[in-house]
Chains A and B, each alone.
Chain A
Amino acid sequence: MTGEDVPIDEDELQAFVDERLDGPRRDAVEAHLARHHELRERIAAERRQRASLRAQLQGKAAEPIPARLRIATIQAARRARLARRVSLIAAAAAIFVVGASAGWFANSLRSAQPVLTAQVPTTAIAQGAAAAYRTFVVEVAHPVEVGVAQETHLLQWLSKRLGHKLEAPDLAPFGYRLMGGRLLPGGSGAAAQLMYEDSAGKRLTLYVRAADGTETAFRFQQDGDAATFAWIDQGFGFAVTATASREELLPIAEAVYKGLTSKG
């Protein structure tokens, strides 16, 4: 080995502790330590402690990965969270999107393409109704904007905003009582939602807004567990939505249709 004055700095001592020096430098450090008793003790202690720490923690890294830390598990949970968030956003957005596209269709109908006439506006009505149903039927604190106690005011107000005389059909024969209603954005103007409730707390909505077209057949739409019958009558679209089967809902929709036309 070379003489006393091979310069060894602290960085090299640390690399020596970590066993990261290659041949010549390692030999140089070893030679240096051989001549310096105190330093040799210190470095030996540091190497021992490093080894102890590694030994103490060795078992931990040998354990199998717990199920909850598997990437597939975490990804599945993330996807589920994301999907919930997206569906909430979609429900909120649907009201506006449906409104906007219905307006666009209405325009295009007036100008060029009569082909789409019958189907599309009814679909838009049904979708708008279903989205509004999903949003407000779960509402506990404020299911309606104006309650049934002010029924006359409610119907006058909604009629004025819709530009259509709105009546609240009597659905008592089906067990539904009027709770009240609210104004919503719909198409190029406003939409009205009347909400009914039966004795079990099950809710039903009647959704009305301006629409192009004179008369169409009932259009049925199933949206999760919410069922909707929609139709267009003399420039207005109507939709009855409830958590019910097609068979349960059809007579109610017919009654609403008859009630509205006989009075209209």
Chain B
Amino acid sequence: MSPISSAADLQSLLFRHIDKILQVWILLDGQDKIVMWSKPAEQNFGYSSAEILGQPFCNLLPLHAPNRTEYIKLLELDSHNGSLINHRTQVVQRGGILMDVELTLHVFKESENFKLITLTNITETAELQHYVNNKMMELVERFHFFHGKDLTPQMREIFDAVLVAVTSGQGLRFNRAFLLLVDQEDQELKGVQAIGPASREEAGRIYHELSQSPPTLTKMIDLYKASETRSDTWINQLCQSIRVSLGDPEHLLIQTLFTQKYQLINDSSTMAGHPSFNRLRETLQVSECIVVPLIWHGQSVGLLIADNAVTGHQITDTNIKAITEFAKTATEVIETVKLLSKLEESINYIKQTNLKIKESQAQLMHQEKLAAKGQLIAQMAHEIRGPMSIIGGFARRVFKRIEPGDINYDPVNRIVETVATLELVLNDILDQTPKAEVLKNDCDAAKTINRVIALLEEEIHLRRISVNINVKGHLPNIRIKEHHLFEIINNLVKNALEAMEKDGLLLILANELGNMVVITIQDTGPGIPKSEEAKIFSPYYTTKENGTGLGLVVVQKLVEEHKGMLTVHSLPAKGTTFTISLPTVNKQEEL
């Protein structure tokens, strides 16, 4: 063979190999008539060159195609700088069989508008995508109508569909397929589901059945489903045994996730010899497999592993191209299912919350009704108690005056006893009716002090009295009802204010001492003479013009009732100090 030297030699070299590069290609003239095409084109369409040359390109388009005769012209309009890439369409083979293709068009404007068309047959991929998408739609519909149902079986089904597509005879033709997904929560890559014959015998059975009639995708899926009961468990167990931490960047599978590029695992692989490489081959018991990352919006969400463990066929470039292409569809479907399942969770959560709200609403309404009823009953019972006491009172009065032998003795006795019974019934009702509000013995002293001062602000201002409140740290709550503590402090502060001339100073201290809170209220009034000190707690003692002399009595009674202490200390012309100590709420009691 002469050495390649001239440009013509190089051109002829290139042209000799053009079929290997472009596969199915067709050259059209300015009138869109076929002037040349490749051997692969001939094989794909089934026409001989003699039959096709000179024919318009539209003869290769289906009869029902819209704008059939103008098709190439329209594509030209869509092209940029004379090129249109990966346009999806359908063409028709000699026998009338439709073929899904990706069409690329190059227009040579400077050369009489000649055009080069290349076609890639994507029928299989299109069918698979169609199948998986249909499954998806089915799932979405089912999800839509039965959104109360657990999604897991549907998820399994959709994963199955993806895996079947990889393995079926009409699909990507791998023997087995494994699906692994990234679990973000556990930071792990986990084997989820697998499909394929469990053994050579199983594979033989399936292939024998398939050889009886041309396999269709549906038939294939049905076959796998039928064998599921036998093979599914083992292969799924194998798949689920694969678990790799995302924090292991040396691991072959994790590397595939990070690089987002497929890895062909065989003896000539660059990774050969790596521990995880050997481990994977051992686990799957194969010498060759392909690992394809599933990429969703730039993020690796899982892996698809496929092998030919049964037939031992070598994985070809066509196989690789097909599976990497299919991985995109698979990812979309898987992620959609995951989203749906999350949606399902959210819907369930909202449903449950809704139910709880409804329940508590009903409960609240029930309680409100009960409370309203209770109030009505209490009111009625009280209204009845008055007249009942009149009937009973007079009846007893009469009864006392009747001798046991009198004809009226027994009837009046009956009235007395019946009224007594009725009164007991009323007492029962009144004891059981819910009280308007049950207040807790739990009160924040600092808050109450401030509330009292705020309410007396006008008087404090009028008397030009300075108030100094000093609460030491965070006080524990006192075991007393708030309105009772309010009454105590209100009375003492009022007394202090009234005792003072203008420009007086009111000092309120509060601090914790042991398990008590001590509140001191000190004024700069005239003080109480020693002789009077003992009397101030007796009822009706007052120095005020309009006083009832009951303020301090009430204070003392309240303090005593709450197991507290009240002391007074007075210095004539200096002022008076009242000290109240009340027990704090026991922490354990609170619990």
Q: Are A and B interaction partners? A: no
